[in-house]
Structure 1
């Protein structure tokens, strides 16, 4: 649906987007995750035709956003971080203006206005001035204008910024509903937001795409330098002897517990923490020593985000199926 190839953007000497390449298939809710200043908004502005790249290309539905802007932009609905609202108008008046700008007329315009008002649930405030609406309702009006024209792709830049907790929940629910009929791309620097809404995640930092995949894929691909905690009745000397025969263990911490038990935490640099835990289990079984408890530390999306954005290392990027969306840092 969207193909971004070798996208680069300079502001003077500042490199905001660095040779970015990825593809987005039709369907799903995608999260564009990165710290402030990562290049998310710049990339979105280029994808929607609001900004020209220094080099590279973006195609939407097969249409080049710069060479064929009218055809490409018909497929996109865009909500910038600051919704472009006219405060002295009512939502109905504003949506009529936007609809006409998109080429809608007559009964079709009336039908779509009524439809999007129902979709974003603003019917009860449709005839109040936008200036009198809460931020949550204003955000809904902004999403409604993005839906006019029945675009295949909805792009939302920081859609919940500045909202209170209840409004955030409402907007998240709305985005999930939109994802059933549209390809939705949203940017955020809030980890919990992306985790709560998105089926697929792109992580960007310093203008580079560092990872792209489903949350579970990202966790599996970065499950390195993990921790295994276990409790045993064996004494310290026996535990160290057993662990000396287990590969890929880099560090051992032992602590005596009440009742003569021993608590241990081992670190592993292996990418397959499950293989290490399996070897550890059978090593204890071979010595007829019981493991009373064993837990693996699974990385969270926050761990992934911190590891990637601090290291800037795209090497851990997971592969996706050919028919699904895929990404690469060229």
Structure 2
């Protein structure tokens, strides 16, 4: 009885806090819908678009106008965590940028929560770049990379508060009918004053393989994730391939760097010459995943590199993780020590 009472009390506090925030949000941001509205918009959850750890996404229609939307119904921990829900609503509720997904509305009735987004008919980027058949030309890939970079640069510099996404990866990049990319899924995003470039280690979260190793530099953490994303777009494979665990190709960025340094403007895809845009995306990606955050470019500089000709780009230093191709368990102590040193150096530079 005591446990149930405590659980009810804790849930009630969370619900009240969320409701208080959302009452204020109604005056500033997207529209608030009742749960009955959500069921009508989705036609009783008829057309399911996808399923994830956060819950399910359904296709819906707003009337009048027959405007198509995607409704994310939060379930499990994602539904119970009022902080993540508030983060997503407050972060993108007031953002209007062509490369950032638009939040149309939301629903919060007791423990039932939903987020209503503009509908992206082409789905997420991962289903294209990891396809067995190459879906995009190099020109299209370069345009998609530029769009993502512009969206991130806006989040870092174009808002009153700097927005750190913390979870940039192919699954969180959505494509509209014209394949214009939009940064999505702001559940892990955080707002910070633009003058403060570092955050406490305790607030950092993300997806393994994309999160920056030093774990303290805010905007440069997104830059690192973007670099991994670029390399995946080029090669059509994930940055760490479990199927290649016993191969020198297990850590993909290492393989890319080796091919570039061994052959200059050589080839990564065996048997085919490297397109100049393929080479450019690789170079920019390798700059973005430099282990020391101050060696990485800002997103504004990334945009300049992507817009520039290949003749002015320089080969970056070898990223730390490329030294051995992959990190062995017995090396974990030395890795931890070196990353600690990198973090301390970055933190000292932040105060200079």
- Does the alignment reach a TM-score above 0.5? no
More helix by share: 2
More strand by share: 1
Normalised by the length of structure 2, the TM-score is 0.23
Normalised by the length of structure 1, the TM-score is 0.24
Structure number with greater CO (CA < 8 Å, separation at least 6) is 1
Q: Which has the larger radius of gyration?
A: 1
